Amino acid sequence: MVLFPLLMANNLIQTSSKKGPETVLILDFGSQYAQLIARRVREAGAFSLLMAPDTPIEKLAEHNMAGIILSGGPCSVSNEGSPRCDERLFDLGVPVLGICYGMQLGCHMLGGKIEGAHAREYGRATLHVKDSAGLLHGLPEDTAVWMSHGDQVDAIGEEFRILASTATCPMAAVAHTSVQFYGVQFHPEVTHTPHGVELLRNFLYEICGINGTWRMADFMEEQCAFIREQVGDSRVLCGLSGGVDSSVVAALLHRAIGDQLVCVFVDNGLLRKNERAFVQTTFRDHFDIDLRVVDARKDFLDDLDGVVDPQIKRTKIGHRFIHCFKTSAEEITKDSNCDVRFLAQGTLYPDVIESGHGYSGAAANIKLHHNVGGLPEELGFDLIEPLRDLFKDEVRKLGEVLGLPDGLIWRHPFPGPGLAVRCIGEITEAKLAVLRDCDEVLLEEIVAANLYRSTDQVFAVLLPVQSVGVMGDGRTYESVVAIRAVETQDFMTADWAKIPYEVLASISNRIINEVRGVNRVVYDISSKPPATIEWE
């Protein structure tokens, strides 16, 4: 393997002295696979962060960078207004890997020529490896890769080496001889590229020289130190719902600041059956955390009276939550004579990305999450979101490191807006009662069939539809309930769970027989994308 010399230009920005875990920054140019790249890097043992493509070099240099990856994207480098990165990127002196659009952009910036491909490649192609050192070390001479491009690199100067090609793409993988830049036209991050993970590990370990030492225990200690520095002597409110995310946040904060933490559980009238009792027993009695319970059921339901639009539901719920937290903070301040300045939330990476509040201004706003969108600008709190860079499975790993019990760590997610987004259309007490009973039956059957751990989220949805049925000798005209069960690793994508027919039959029979007001049960077999996991 040839190690290329670092640029020693006068404007080289030093990064080796930066604090924090060794990090691989991923500049996202709009790729559908950007989050998958981030996961692959973390799985290999390095911390990764998605960044806006035009992030200034000074911001990039604030991180303890081991390398940079330029993602793919739907644009053409030759089009006016297509996304670009800081032209000084290669002055950082860290290795850069360009994938698809990222390869084209890097080659363009370093003097290459980009043209529309003579034959576009979408899907599987055979890669012919010409240089098996460095980036492609250990890959077979001929191997399958996944292509998705219309443009490609048409010409490169003498400072580039061609590492691999396909039948229609002569420069499918390249390396620069004096700048630490590598480019691949295919997507190594997807499972359709069988040796893609090996390529990424070559980049990370052989070229970037990462130590592979990033572990969740390190993340925990770093976050605890950061929280203590951020909070000082102030008290922190944590909105505790009893779900995995807020429970892990509460445990992390309790480890970091002890009695400075006050957890607030808001009974919004949109909870699962017996959820309030579960939270009180678990956190007040078992974990000995200062827990305040706010009964705001009437306020929330009054706010939602007549509301049908799901985004308005989320916004109104978010506003009411903040009002509850502000009121609680005022009461706690009076009791303890200590100012409450901070509000902690269990925001996760998928929440940030889907809400359009993440790394890129071009991110699509798929839905509002009450913890990252739709809240008043002047909250009266400084936010603490220690999980906002983690995926769901990583949050569970952090929970294990913190010593939380398995039964809590592996609870299925429950949305912040609660049953409001599972009761389609207008919300009433009667509809919520039906939905709670359906959900209880559903989860009982899933647990009894030993499917709770093999599914990642299972819930019932009450539809604004009534259908004709027959019960006994009489005609009925009652509600329809949809069952949603998905399998996923990171909740960015998901597939519907193949629940055995006999289990579905048992669920349907019990709901129709035991829950008054329901005469039809349907099963949702939509994947994400194009559907979302929740219905609203």
- Taking the chain, what is the end-to-end CA distance rounded to the nearest angstrom? 52
Question: Which residue of the set 63, 149, 176, 187 is catalytic?
Answer: 187
Residue that the structure tokens 């893609």 belong to: 196
The verdict on whether 100 is a catalytic residue reads yes
Q: How many helices (H) and strands (E) does the chain have?
A: 14, 18
Contacts of 271 (CB under 8 A, 6+ apart): 418, 419
Q: Give backbone dihedrals phi and psi of 161, rounded to 5 degrees, phi first.
A: -115, 140
Question: Which token pair is 257?
Answer: 């600041």
Question: Which residue of the set 22, 63, 100, 423 is catalytic?
Answer: 100
482 vs 531: CA distance, rounded Å? 14
The verdict on whether 189 is a catalytic residue reads yes
Strand runs labelled E in 43-141:
47-51, 65-70, 96-99, 113-129
Alpha helices in 205-309 (DSSP H): 216-231, 244-257, 275-279, 297-303
Strand 235-239 and strand 340-344: the pairing is parallel
Residue that the structure tokens 């200590």 belong to: 338
The verdict on whether 426 is a catalytic residue reads no
Strand 291-295 and strand 457-471: the pairing is unpaired
Q: How far is CA 242 from CA 233, 264, 274, in A?
A: 26, 11, 11
Q: Which of 102, 95, 59, 63 is nearest to 178 (CA)?
A: 95
To 5 degrees, how large is the angle CA 194–CA 195–CA 201? 135
Question: Which token pair is 258?
Answer: 């002890």
* Other beta carbons within 10 Å of 390: 24
Q: What is the DSSP letter of 3?
A: P
Q: What is the DSSP letter of 456?
A: S
218 vs 230: CA distance, rounded Å? 18
76, 108 Cβ separation under 8 angstroms: no
197 vs 34: CA distance, rounded Å? 15
Alpha helices in 91-213 (DSSP H): 101-109, 196-201
Q: Based on the number of CB atoms within 10 Å of its own CB, is 400 exposed (0-12), middle (13-18) or buried (19 or more)?
A: middle
Question: Which token pair is 500?
Answer: 């055995």
Q: Given strand 235-239, what is the order of strands in its sheet? A: 291-295, 261-267, 235-239, 340-344, 382-384
Question: Which residue of the set 22, 121, 189, 536 is catalytic?
Answer: 189
95 vs 98: CA distance, rounded Å? 10
Annotated catalytic residues are 100, 187, 189
